[in-house]
Amino acid sequence: MNKVINLETTRQIEFIDITSLIRKEVEARNCREGICFLYVPHTTAALTINENADPDVIRDLNHTMEKLVPVKGNYFHREGNAHAHVKASLLGGSTFIFIRDGKLLLGTWQGIYFCEFDGPRRRSLYLRIMQENSTY
């Protein structure tokens, strides 16, 4: 089953913790063992799994990305959002998380982030939960 989750971003660059949203989707499907696939169908947005206990980690990630790929740079892409394309490519547009005993198998400090690099915008996030019929 695929589900489309709609998100509204409010800033040009924004990291949105979507962990609780994805947990609710897993619980709603009563999946005990399986895989949760997430995909962003946008070329200027991405997904990442990183620490969500200390907000400074995301600030550091954003700060470092800006140093590596500044908003204002010598880019060829004429739309003015080349930095967003590069950042999205560096982080990637998809991820998956194993599900065990009905829970996302994330590390103690891990969270799932939707990463906006060309906002504010209306965005889509595709979710697919595949339940395993057998355990390995």
CATH label of the domain that carries residue 74: 2.60.120.460
Q: Is 136 domain-assigned?
A: no
CA 32 – CA 91 distance, rounded (Å): 29
Q: pLDDT band at residue 132, thresholds of 50, 70 and 90?
A: confident
The pLDDT tens digits for 64-111 are 999 999 999 999 999 999 999 999 999 999 999 999 999 999 999 999
Q: Is the pLDDT of residue 7 over 80?
A: yes
pLDDT of the residue at 1: 56
User: pTM for this one?
Assistant: 0.94
Report if residue 107 sits inside a domain. Answer: yes
Q: Provide the 3-class DSSP secondary structure of residue 130.
A: strand
DSSP annotation of 7? E
Domains of the chain: total? 1
Contact assessment for residue 65 and residue 15, using Cβ atoms and an 8 Å cutoff: no
Helices marked H in the chain: 19-28, 55-68, 82-91
pLDDT at 136 over 70: no
37 occurs within a structural domain: yes
Q: How confident is the model at residue 2 (pLDDT cuts 50, 70, 90)?
A: confident
